[in-house]
Amino acid sequence: MRVTILGLIGVMAIGAGLLRSASQDASSASPSLAPQRAILDQYCVTCHNEKLKTAGLMLDKMNLGEVSENAAVWEKVVRKVRTGQMPPAGMPRPDKAAYDSLAAYLEAELDRAAAAHPNPGRPVLRRLNRAEYANAIRDLVALEIDSTSLLPTDESAHGFDNIGDALSVSPLLLERYLSAARKISRLAIGDSTIRPVFETYDVPRYLMQEDRTSEDLPFGSRGGVAIRHYFPLDGEYTIKIGLQRNARDYIRGLGEPHQLDVRLDGARIKLFTVGGDNRGRSSGIFSSASQGDPEQERYERNTAEAALEFRLPVKAGARVLGITFLKKAPLPEGPLQPRLTQIEFSPFKGGIPAIGSVTIAGPYNATGTEDTPSRRKIFVCHPANANDNDEVSCARKILSTLARRAYRRPVTDADIQTLLSFYEDGRSERGFEAGIGMALERMLISPAFLFRIERDPQGVAANTAYPVSGLELASRLSFFLWSSLPDEELLGLAEDGKLKDPAVLEQQVRRMMADSRAKTLVSNFAGLWLQVRNLRSVSPDPEAFPYFDEELREAFQQETELFFESMLREDRSALELLNADYTFLNERLARHYQIPNVYGSHFRRVTLAGENENRRGLLGQGSILTVTSYANRTSLVLRGKWVMNNILGTPPPPPPANVPSLKEQSKDGKVLSLRERMEQHRANPACASCHKVMDPLGFALENFDGIGHWRTRDGDSPIDSSGVLPDGSRFEGPLGLRKVLRDKKEQFVHTVTEKLLTYALGRGLEYYDAPVVRQILREAAPDNYRWSSLVLGIARSTAFQMRRSQSQ
């Protein structure tokens, strides 16, 4: 029976004969390897599993003196040794010095071989994902678009949605690209033939709009929404405001008058009074009450918002439409009422009114467009005269400028001639600007725009590592740090051949990280790595977690994004993700965390000290704790798996088929605690190997319920948050787990670097990338693993600056 070495390593077993013959052969060939042989001999213990014995004997052909010959296998051995997974728990283990000695030797040999014969990998042809497409449009023609409504969802791999292997192209996607290009071109140019369209912006139904909801809304406001809308032409637009309704379609909060404030770019344009018309009140504040008279019914269902529709003239361009209520300062007399649960809020029609939706329709009576950021970006010239020569000359200049940015390289005559042919078609039908619009539409469906294409240079040998060009390096940098096109400065340096200068490269990396566009590292890299994007789709059970609402969901996401952004902006150590003594809170989130003296909807930096130290770092944040829970309870497995995958870099294998569900009761009818149920589950040998690592990590976080609220009991049972890892590490609660993870800091920063490198390269890492990761970490260690040192290490690495040519 042929059992592979990889299979042996996968089950983490070193049995009889494992590595023994390899170490003997190596030491006989080189006396200097005797210490390594001695260490390996400590691993060689009696194995009673016949399958593992067979696997161990398969290593006879491996030569420890020629590690590079089996680099893929030895890299797996290094990972198992560094993470303490070899030998298996319960078998004799050498001391830490012995572990480090073996790992250091193997790493040195592997790194030496990698330096002599680098293998930077070969990224596949990669299309832009939705986020990159939207950012590229923004930077190319100064137009903000909602790519989620234009393009289908991207597939993910290795935890990210910018992985080339996963970004396939389907007939549906091609049709959507054509449709998107047509719409973007018309909006950017300001096509006067655009017909009125209706766009509706819905506010989450269960958002309790008690405080200011956006930094774009005025102080002293309550609830509402700030909408960034693009008005394509100078003309008239209709605004229709819908009020929030309860489960039976009654408008809420009409008992008292409230002032509804409508603003465009901060300037008030309308002020309405909503409610307080003193109509019949027999219907009550809950929809389950008896219905009132017909006039009251019509008012609460229809006429209360009938007047909230109006038309106004608007200049073309991106505008902020703010719709909110003026907050009433004095509190009503009487006892303070508890906050409504989601179940109570659903039928409730009392309280205060709120915004449910906003519909913008237009343009009507359009008069064209005079000046917008998009037109300034596109029309770098205007024909002096309406003749063919002047117009073609100007069109060539416009299209050359746009195409250079869109294609991320100097354009060729063939590129321009293709675009000019489309320009001529459009011009012949509707004039100069229509021709530019037609050519822009063609540019946006060009493979040179939609795909990141890297070509092997002529004359390079097959399967050989070679440096990428300066222009390719510029694109790699910009899509890594900005998820967008290179800007003029970066592109110019690449064209001049200066970008590969180490000093210039470092200066550009630091400039790009300081730019506001680097915030995409928060939304794209961190959002996917930490799984915070999943917050949009989680739906906690309102019976199990009655006080979860949309406001809390948004606060969870905002906290983690602001936290990670502060790490980048302040260039902190990546290690602080585990133990930072601060976070970002508003009143709603602080109340959920039971942290006093935080008031208002504005997020501010809050120091975590004393009894709040359990909230330090990522593991105390509601976003992480919620996405790693089930809808109605916590999950030891999901939380433990999250820590293993995203913190320790040791993802567990997939679960076996037909795993039985947890038993709620023992044989004698006793209700089992979660710990007792998991102990029974681990009694199954097929489950024990993974759960003995995952479960203790999950138990340490059990004081946080399924939406991150601190608790000391689970039902009638006290929380037991203690745990023991297979290596003997004991801990209790979040503080104890955090200490264990800090002791494994090298393992954590290794994981961070692997995730960041995966995101930067747009491909999964292979065994030949391990020396690159180690080199980045060695260079970053003196700087305490600050984010700038990790990013610079990636930008300087062979994997980022080189590429392997195609095999014959």
DSSP 447-461: HHHHEE---PPTTPP
Angle made by CA atoms 590, 595, 601, in degrees to the nearest 5: 25
pLDDT of residue 687: 63
Copy the structure tokens of residue 352. Answer: 């205060």
In this structure, is the dihedral angle defined by the CA atoms of residues 456, 457, 462 and 463, taken in order, positive or negative? negative
Residue 431 region by backbone torsions, left for phi larger than 0, else alpha for psi between -120 and 50, else beta = left
SS3 257: coil
In the chain, the percentage of residues whose pLDDT exceeds 90 is 65
Contact 644, 686 (CB under 8 A): no
Cα separation of 440 and 426, whole Å?
11
Give phi and psi for 620, each to the nearest 5.
-105, 5
Beta strands in 116-234 (DSSP E): 126-127, 197-202, 221-231
640, 716, 737, 748 from 700: Cα distances, Å: 9, 19, 6, 18
Element (H, E) at 272: strand 267-274
Cα separation of 347 and 498, whole Å?
65
SS3 165: helix
Cα separation of 296 and 277, whole Å?
10
- Write down the H helix ranges in 445-534: 447-450, 470-481, 488-495, 502-514, 520, 527-529
Cα separation of 92 and 47, whole Å?
12
SS3 780: helix
Successive 10-residue mean pLDDT values, the chain, 808 residues: 32 34 41 52 41 42 76 88 72 76 90 94 93 98 95 95 94 95 95 92 89 91 94 95 90 91 96 76 45 76 89 95 87 65 81 94 89 94 84 96 97 96 94 95 97 93 94 98 98 96 98 97 97 94 92 96 97 97 96 95 95 95 97 92 94 73 65 66 62 85 96 87 82 94 94 98 96 97 97 98 90
DSSP state of 536: G
Cα separation of 124 and 118, whole Å?
18
Supply the Cα-derived Rg of the chain in whole angstroms. 31
Cα separation of 461 and 758, whole Å?
26
Give the residue from 455, 467, 463 showing the smallest Cα distance to 808: 463
Residues 6+ apart with CB under 8 A from 298: none
Percentages helix, strand, coil for the chain (3-state, rounded to 5) are 50, 15, 40
Give the residue from 467, 457, 502, 503 showing the smallest Cα distance to 798: 467
Cα separation of 233 and 314, whole Å?
8
CA 712 to chain centre: 32
Copy the structure tokens of residue 186. Answer: 């018309």
Residue type, 177: Y
DSSP 20-74: HHHHHHHHHH-GGGHHHHHHHHHH------HHHHHHHHGGGG--GGGGGGGHHHH
Cα separation of 277 and 280, whole Å?
9
SS3 779: helix
SS3 500: coil
Cα separation of 3 and 9, whole Å?
11
How buried is 81 (Cβ within 10 angstroms: 0-12 exposed, 13-18 middle, 19+ buried)? Answer: buried
160, 206, 278, 517 from 354: Cα distances, Å: 37, 10, 19, 33
Residues 6+ apart with CB under 8 A from 138: 144, 145, 484
Cα separation of 218 and 64, whole Å?
69
pLDDT of residue 299: 85
DSSP state of 353: -
In this structure, is the dihedral angle defined by the CA atoms of residues 627, 628, 631 and 632, taken in order, positive or negative? negative
Element (H, E) at 144: none
Contact 286, 348 (CB under 8 A): yes
Q: Are strands 451-452 and 309-314 parallel, antiparallel or unpaired?
A: unpaired
Contact 499, 506 (CB under 8 A): no
Helix 770-780 to helix 745-761 angle, to the nearest 10 degrees?
Answer: 120
In this structure, is the dihedral angle defined by the CA atoms of residues 53, 59, 64 and 65, taken in order, positive or negative? positive
pLDDT of residue 103: 87
- Write down the H helix ranges in 635-744: 636-643, 674-682, 685-699, 733-743
Give the residue from 652, 615, 633 showing the smallest Cα distance to 733: 615
Residues 6+ apart with CB under 8 A from 552: 588, 589, 592, 622, 707
pLDDT of residue 673: 65
pLDDT of residue 335: 63
Residues 6+ apart with CB under 8 A from 808: 462, 463
- Write down the H helix ranges in 570-682: 576-579, 587-593, 622-627, 636-643, 674-682
How buried is 201 (Cβ within 10 angstroms: 0-12 exposed, 13-18 middle, 19+ buried)? Answer: middle
pLDDT of residue 689: 62
Residue labelled with tokens 């389907």: 170
Q: Looking only at Cα atoms, what is the longest distance across the chain? A: 100
Cα separation of 233 and 433, whole Å?
14
Residues 6+ apart with CB under 8 A from 732: 700, 721, 722, 723
Cα separation of 224 and 729, whole Å?
50
Q: Is the peptide bond before 87 cis (omega within 30 degrees of 0)?
A: yes
Give the residue from 193, 184, 230, 190 showing the smallest Cα distance to 445: 184
